[in-house]
Amino acid sequence: MGLGEKIMALIVQKYGGTSMGSAERIRNVAKRVARWKSKGNQVVVVVSAMSGETNRLIALAKEVSPQPDPRELDVMISTGEQVSIALLAMALRDLGIKARSYTGGQVKILTDSVFTKARILDIEGNNIKRDLDNDTVVIVAGFQGVDADGNITTLGRGGSDTSGVALAAALQADECHIYTDVDGVYTTDPRVVPEARKLDRITFEEMLEMASLGSKVLQIRSVEFAGKYKVKLRVLSSFEEEGQETSGTLITLEEDSDMEHPIISGIAFNRDEAKLTVLGVPDRPGIAYQILGAIADANIDVDMIIQNVGHDGTTDFSFTVNRGEYMRARKILEEQIKPHVGARAIDGDNKICKVSAVGVGMRSHPGVASKMFRVLAEEGINIQMISTSEIKISVVVDEKYIELAVRTLHSAFGLDQITA
Ligand code: ADP
Ligand code: ASP
Ligand code: MG
């Protein structure tokens, strides 16, 4: 039996911004949903705002208020998805399919209260089950939830993926389909490297690394959810014609034992990085805690951390943050840390990026790091920071080298498509 052909499977499908990008595309999504429904499946659809809409709303908010209040920002930027759910419900009803739309709050997607990057805590979803039993397609707004006090929250950029997977987990769906504008997960972003290859399968572990290292095809929290609740997750294209559909990429729990694993499965990169350095801090216990504690208190995520070897009783301490948090983090260092710990100066660079090689095959193959460093050196690319785990190696380089670094590594690790 093919994908989703089990009679009365419960399927959650998420359609992203590009897939919902115009009236015609929304009607196409409706036709696709109708086909899944007509095969006897129960279908819950999660949608994003029409492409560009969330960016437009954020820009408008910033025009009015340079640092918008996070609660109010969430009230505003969640509206894009509300438009999408209603439009899709209308399109489905025009096809003769029973459909009802709901906001995140209406189906009680309960989150914490960290506005603009809230985490899902629980989903009640009673009305979803009732509608499904009533032969109705349920359409839920992605990216949004509600906190315990009834405030609207949003889940961070790309958060509709997480809404989809969390709903699939809560409803114990048979499958979760992430429909997007590419036909699966590739060895790297196909927009940057046209030679990138589509992967038929990728392990959760690798997908988690790829997502957390910048492959925005799936939001990282969606992959975490899928792994934790064993959701059967597939990335598919919403642009394939009826009858021409391919089966996308399956995110698998098992490592295929009969499959020879490539050493590297993919190259991920992230442009949204910034580096901060506290220069000349006293080299004594507690300094790292003081610096990073203040950053954590401000809810700023820290990624790579380096403390240099001390000399003359002082040391330099560097870390990276999301570029959007650079100014806020820098202000904390200037105002709270520098005078407090007696640092010499604060330095920073918000024109850096991170490039990473990911692969479970790395575990059994030494020498990946040295190959990576050699290949980058041959292109004259200076490495500013390095971090490794069992299945990934990441380097920070000047952002002007990003495309060169990604293309070079992609080809050096044999990931390019074999063309005739
Ligand atoms: P949606 O609006 O459907 O959520 P996104 O733009 O968030 O779509 O994600 C799809 C995009 O992710 C693709 O168009 C592609 O450019 C990008 N992308 C980045 N890395 C990868 C990768 N490894 N494989 C596939 N797509 C990737
Ligand atoms: N519309 C939101 C965004 O642009 C959520 C999503 O598309 O997943 O980030
Ligand atoms: Mg997305």
| Architecture of the domain spanning 10-255 | 3-Layer(aba) Sandwich (3.40)
Please tell me the residue having the least CA distance from ligand 2 atom 6: 158
Count CB neighbours of 212 within 10 A: 19
Is residue 258 over pLDDT 90? no
pLDDT, position 263: 87
Domain spans in the chain, listed from the N-terminal domain onward: 10-255, 267-417
Ligand nearest to the CA of 160: 2
Task: Tell how far the Cα of 223 is from the centroid of ligand 2, in angstroms.
Answer: 16
Nearest CA to ligand 1 atom 12: 217
107 in Cβ contact with 142 (< 8 Å): no
Laid out side by side, the sheet with 302-307 consists of 302-307, 314-322, 266-282, 345-358, 392-398, 385-389
Q: Whose CA is closest to 143, among 301, 14, 300?
A: 14
What letter does residue 186 receive in the DSSP assignment?
A: B
> Tell me, what's the pLDDT at 311?
82
Local confidence band at 3 (pLDDT 50, 70, 90 cut-offs): low
At 213, list the tokens. Answer: 């290292």
Residue nearest to atom 5 of ligand 2 (CA): 158
Query: Ligand 1 pocket: which residues have CB below 6 Å?
Result: 16-19, 48, 158, 180-182, 185-186, 188-191, 215-217, 266
Percentage with pLDDT > 90 across the chain: 88
Ligand 2 centroid–CA 285 distance in Å is: 42
pLDDT in tens, 152-182: 999 999 999 999 999 999 999 999 999 999 9
- In this predicted structure, what is the pLDDT of residue 56? 98
Task: Evaluate if residue 402 carries a pLDDT over 80.
Answer: yes
Q: What are the distances in angstroms from CA 235 to CA 247, 255, 278? A: 8, 18, 42
For the segment 299-338, what is each residue's pLDDT rounded down to a tens digit? 899 999 998 887 888 999 999 999 999 999 999 999 999 9
User: 280, 312 in Cβ contact below 8 A?
Assistant: no
Question: Counting atoms of ligand 2 from 1, which one is nearest the CA of 80?
Answer: 1
What pLDDT is recorded for position 361? Answer: 87
- pLDDT at res. 247: 93
Query: Residue 177 and residue 189: Cα distance in Å, rounded?
Result: 20
- With tokens 């990946």, the residue in question is 368
Give 341 Cα–ligand 2 centroid separation in angstroms.
Answer: 40
Output DSSP code: residue 259.
S
What pLDDT, on a 0 to 100 scale, did the predictor assign at position 332?
97
pLDDT band at 297 (very low <50, low <70, confident <90, very high): very high
Predicted local confidence at residue 255, as pLDDT: 63
Contact 179 CB / ligand 2 (< 6 Å): no
Please, what's the b/e burial string for 164-186 (b: 16 or more CB within 10 A of its CB; e: otherwise)? bbbbbbbbebbbbbbbbebbbbb
Q: Which fold has domain 267-417?
A: VC0802-like (3.30.2130)
pLDDT above 70 coverage of the chain, percent: 96
SS3 355: strand
| pLDDT score for 2 | 47
| Least reliable range by pLDDT among 22-26, 241-245, 389-393 | 241-245
pLDDT for 5 beyond 90: no
User: Across residues 262-274, what is the average pLDDT?
Assistant: 94
**Mean pLDDT along residues 238-250:** 92
**Residue range 265-285: mean pLDDT, rounded:** 95
Residue minimizing CA distance to atom 9 of ligand 2: 157
Pocket test for ligand 1, best of 165, 216, 240, 410 (most atoms within 8 A of CB): 216
Cβ-based neighbours of 194, under 8 Å, separated by 6 or more: none
DSSP symbols for 387-405: EEETTEEEEEEEGGGHHHH
Residue with the smallest CA separation from ligand 2 atom 4 is 54
Residue 404 has pLDDT above 80, yes or no: yes
| Cβ–ligand 2 contact at 143 (below 6 Å) | yes
- Average pLDDT rounded to a whole number, residues 254-274: 81
pLDDT in tens, 127-140: 999 999 999 999 99
How far does the centroid of ligand 1 lie from the alpha carbon of residue 285, in Å?
A: 43
- Tokens 């580096």 identify what position? 275
Query: Residue 243: its pLDDT value, please?
Result: 87
Distance from the first to the final alpha carbon of the chain? 33
For the chain, the average pLDDT equals 94
pLDDT score for 4:
47
Find out whether 391 and 205 touch, Cβ atoms under 8 Å: yes
Q: Considering only CA atoms, which residue is closest to atom 8 of ligand 2?
A: 158
Model confidence at 260, in pLDDT bands (50, 70, 90)? low
The Cα angle at residue 63 between residues 276 and 61, in degrees rounded to 5: 85
Distance 189 CA to ligand 1 centre (A): 7
What value does the mean pLDDT take over residues 189-197? 96
Cα 369 → chain centroid: 25
Determine the Cα–Cα distance for residues 403 and 27; give it in Å rounded to an integer.
36
Q: Is the pLDDT of residue 257 over 70?
A: no
Best mutation site among 120, 157, 163 for ligand 2, i.e. most ligand atoms within 8 A of its Cβ? 157
Q: What is the mean pLDDT of residues 98-118?
A: 97
Contact 308/315 with Cβ under 8 angstroms?
A: yes
